[in-house]
Amino acid sequence: MPTKVPHTDVLMTVMGSPHESDLITSALRLAQSLLEGGAAVQIWACGYATMLTQQGLGQSKPRNLAEWSTEYPSMAALVQGMLTAFPDRLHWYACRFCSDDRGAIAHIPEVPLRAPAKFAEHVAAADKTLYLGVM
């Protein structure tokens, strides 16, 4: 069954460095600001950014030796929280090819895999497209 890509105001494509690690917070803050302003946003994770939504990350990061008693959410938990907070206006996708190529096959349930050939459908469904990272 074909997947209909919902219309969004912005498509953010996150690829590789620095968007494969904790440095993605700039992209997440931008997405959150757009969402809080009423925009609809889709995020397409490509390259190593597909590692951000792996179930294996769990709900929290390993303990920080400097702040042993403080719990920090994992990147997957942050994404899950944002998807829960904005269920009709935030859509997160992971590139199937990049996921398979990196062994990132166990994404959180809210993140569907999409074939790279479908990327054009996502661009067409968005009013604006931002590319963040390297190609």
Q: Residue 81, Cα to own-chain centre: how many angstroms?
A: 12
What's the pTM value of the predicted model, to 2 decimals?
0.90
Asked if residue 42 lies in contact with residue 122, where contact means CB atoms within 8 angstroms, the answer is yes
Residue 118 has pLDDT above 70, yes or no: yes
Class of domain 15-61+71-133: alpha beta
The DSSP H or E segment spanning 12 is: strand 8-15
- Among all chains, which residue has been given the structure tokens 């929280």? 81
For the stretch 21-46, pLDDT in tens is 666 888 899 999 999 999 999 999 99
CB atoms within 10 A of CB 72: 13
Q: Where are the domains of the chain?
A: 15-61+71-133
Asked if residue 70 lies in contact with residue 19, where contact means CB atoms within 8 angstroms, the answer is no
Q: Could you give the CA distance from residue 73 to residue 7 in angstroms, rounded to a whole number?
A: 29
- Among all chains, which residue has been given the structure tokens 């993605």? 24
Q: Could you give the CA distance from residue 45 to residue 38 in angstroms, rounded to a whole number?
A: 22
Confidence at residue 65, expressed as pLDDT on a 0 to 100 scale: 84
Q: Could you give the CA distance from residue 76 to residue 24 in angstroms, rounded to a whole number?
A: 12
- pLDDT band, residue 68 (cuts 50/70/90): confident
For the stretch 88-116, pLDDT in tens is 999 999 999 999 999 998 999 999 999 99
